[in-house]
Copies of this chain bind each other. A is one copy, B any other.
């Protein structure tokens, strides 16, 4: 593999995704496994890595970089949280490293783990991200723009000069949806269906409108996902998307309430989730654009370059 320049690892809570990049930062090959931080037992991170791409390590001398929860306290080794708006070029100077012993007994290789970011919100509480900063840097967004990364813990980030991440906010939207459908009384009246299931758009939009209106009393507003079922206003199959809409509306209402006026956001991430968010953001009167695919890998490539890991060959 003469062209290979970098092994880039997107190592999150649930999954490990590895890309072998060429001299232009383009993927020669991509692989993934359910070897996320929570799935790896007893600190067997090296084994998980070698199982997925031991052959790349044996056949190349590429440097390795990783971003995501692998740098958390539950990960391989804890990387610091840098204070926003630390820019990419400075973050690249603060990789932490762990040695990776190879199966053939050759000299250990270094894995470079990217730091996370933290900031203080207006209430004086910390917020944190790990992995999303790399994704945002890789997305090449305009200065002073706002982006949203939907997910278990969705992130809103406001960029400043030079695309630095000025501040950001986490919303536990995806996790709340999971808890409420799987473990709460709201789930009792629902038919959840199996993935991929058709989006019940009307129910989603009704939920979004309700969540936007009722985000200031969310523990009450959520109860509508029970009474709408009890009173026969919505079918059991429509209730999950109604609840999803309430939570999306509450997220958007909350994120935009105290913040500077916003016209446009860029969505970054999973296609199905971004579609859902795009519908909800439009109800809230926001323009939506989508980041190009491959933001994570591009961010890792930029970090590796700024850290001087790509050498003369790149």
Contact = CB atoms under 8 A, between A and B. Distances in A.
B227 A125 contact: yes
B126 A227 contact: yes
A214 B123 contact: yes
A184 interface: yes
A254 interface: yes
A221 B215 CA distance: 12
Given A123-B221, A224-B123, A216 B254 contact: yes
Given A170-B223, A223-B153, A125 B228 contact: yes
A215 B253 CA distance: 11
Interface in A115-161: 118, 121, 123, 125-128, 153
Interface string A102-118: 00000000000000001
What is the oligomeric copy number? 2
Interface in A256-298: 257-258
Interface residues of A, number: 48
Interface stretch (A27-35, A40-48, A53-61, A175-183): A175-183
A231 interface: yes
A251 interface: yes
A210 B213 CA distance: 21
Interface of A: 73, 118, 121, 123, 125-128, 153, 169-173, 175-176, 179-180, 182-185, 210, 213-224, 227-228, 230-231, 233, 247, 250-251, 253-255, 257-258
19 contacts: A118-B231, A121-B220, A123-B213, A125-B210, A125-B227, A126-B224, A126-B227, A126-B228, A153-B185, A153-B223, A172-B184, A172-B219, A179-B180, A179-B184, A182-B183, A183-B183, A217-B255, A218-B219, A219-B251
